[in-house]
């Protein structure tokens, strides 16, 4: 009898522990990692500015550039607070960014729930920062956790007062006017060209609205993952669906960054190129279940050290044209 009672007591204790763990998991809060001073430096800012990374290894020069662009110098004593936003991971950016010139603190905030987008401490950290950087990960999480929340408003307030906002990989994917959100899976170029309404293709609108990023659609990990075809299908969809009459794809390669100053002039930094892909007329064929046909995408391939004016976009001088006929590209698009 004693053994039986002990058995049931053990089972009950285990059940209570399991329910407690579930409750703790359900109530998981924001995780903060702070490196440097907790005080707010609040310097005068001279931005705004962006650093858009294509994924893989970050470009040191681009992160230093956005810090310097916002503080208005390269060797002065002015220091900034940087906040890294992420939906997974931990403090991998802290020591890396803290070691750069002009950084007073780096705080990484790991936010895993939409309900935490109203956390008062989180909002204070974001509003008090001078540079906000979105880590890579899953852009669907960023869309679901941040769009239409006080976090979105707080990030925009940093930009409005002359601060810097950037991101890499998924953190850049959410920065364009039209966002491929990845919430239905990761689309392949082959699938998107064969069917521009493929089940893996979904978009989010009216997230961040940056001054020089109107009617843009971002792509990352561009050449290694062969994403030109899907970008063309994404552009075709915006035009066919009546979202815009002209769309500029901004495709950043790995180990490459596109930095954008307050006047909209974009500079390419790092190892690779940035591809600006313009669709400026309706596609000939863009219907569900049918291969895409879209003639004469205009492509500017800008290598490291080159520039592109996002505020006063060129109407000529593109590097080459590429057409899609029955889902097939007319030439090597890279």
Question: How do the pLDDT tens digits run along the chain, 334 residues long?
Answer: 434 444 334 344 433 333 333 333 444 589 999 999 999 999 999 999 999 999 999 999 999 999 999 999 999 999 999 999 999 999 999 999 999 999 999 999 999 999 999 999 999 999 999 999 999 999 999 999 999 999 999 999 999 999 999 999 999 999 999 999 999 999 999 999 999 999 999 999 999 999 999 999 999 999 999 999 999 999 999 999 999 999 999 999 999 999 999 999 999 999 999 999 999 999 999 999 999 999 999 999 999 999 999 999 999 999 999 999 999 999 999 9
Q: How far is CA 52 from the centre of its chain?
A: 7
312's tokens: 């006063």
Contact between 37 and 63 under an 8 Å Cβ cutoff? The reply is no
Tokens in use for 320?
A: 């080459």
Highest CATH level, class, for 29-175: alpha beta
Listed in order, strand segments (DSSP E) in the chain are 31-36, 49-53, 80-86, 103-110, 131-134, 164-168, 178-180, 203-205, 216-219, 247-252, 256-260, 265-270, 274-279, 294-302, 307-309, 320-325, 328-329
pLDDT at 28: 54
Say which residue the tokens 């204790």 belong to: 13
With beta carbons less than 8 A apart as the criterion, state whether 261 and 49 touch.
Answer: yes
Q: What are the CA-CA distances from residue 263 to residues 45, 63, 308, 312 (Å)?
A: 15, 18, 11, 9
Question: What local confidence, expressed as pLDDT, does residue 162 receive?
Answer: 98
For 193, 244, 321, the CA distances from 334, given in Å and listed in that order, are 16, 25, 11
* pLDDT value of residue 4: 40
According to DSSP, residue 319 is labeled S
Structural domain boundaries of the chain?
Answer: 29-175, 184-204+214-334
Residue 180 CA, distance from chain mean position: 10
């Amino acid at each position: 009898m004693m053994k039986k009672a002990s058995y049931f007591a053990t089972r009950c204790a285990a059940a209570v522990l399991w329910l407690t763990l579930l409750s703790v998991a359900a109530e998981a809060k924001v995780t903060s990692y702070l490196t440097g001073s907790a005080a707010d430096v609040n310097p005068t800012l001279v931005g705004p500015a962006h650093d858009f990374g294509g994924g893989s290894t970050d470009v040191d020069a681009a992160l230093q550039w956005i810090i310097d662009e916002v503080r208005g110098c390269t060797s002065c004593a002015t220091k900034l607070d940087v906040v890294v936003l992420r939906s997974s991971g931990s403090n991998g950016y802290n020591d890396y960014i803290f070691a750069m010139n002009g950084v007073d603190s780096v705080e990484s905030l790991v936010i895993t729930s939409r309900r935490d987008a109203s956390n008062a401490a989180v909002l204070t950290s974001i509003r008090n920062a001078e540079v906000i950087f979105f880590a890579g990960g899953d852009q669907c999480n960023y869309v679901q956790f941040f769009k239409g929340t006080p976090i979105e408003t707080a990030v925009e307030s940093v930009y409005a007062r002359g601060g810097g906002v950037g991101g890499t990989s998924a953190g850049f994917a959410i920065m364009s006017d039209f966002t491929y959100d990845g919430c239905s899976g990761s689309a392949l170029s082959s699938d998107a060209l064969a069917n521009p309404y493929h089940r893996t293709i979904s978009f989010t609108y009216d997230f961040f609205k940056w001054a020089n990023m109107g009617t843009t659609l971002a792509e990352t990990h561009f050449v290694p993952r062969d994403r030109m075809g899907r970008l063309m299908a994404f552009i075709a969809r915006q035009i066919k669906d009546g979202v815009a009459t002209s769309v500029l794809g901004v495709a950043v390669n790995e180990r490459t960054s596109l930095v954008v100053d307050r006047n909209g002039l974009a500079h390419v930094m790092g190892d690779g190129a940035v591809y600006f892909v313009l669709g400026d007329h309706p596609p000939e064929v863009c219907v569900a279940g049918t291969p895409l046909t879209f003639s004469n995408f205009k492509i500017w391939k800008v290598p490291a050290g080159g520039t592109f004016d996002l505020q006063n976009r060129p109407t000529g001088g593109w590097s080459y044209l590429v057409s899609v006929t029955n889902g097939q590209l007319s030439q090597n698009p890279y």
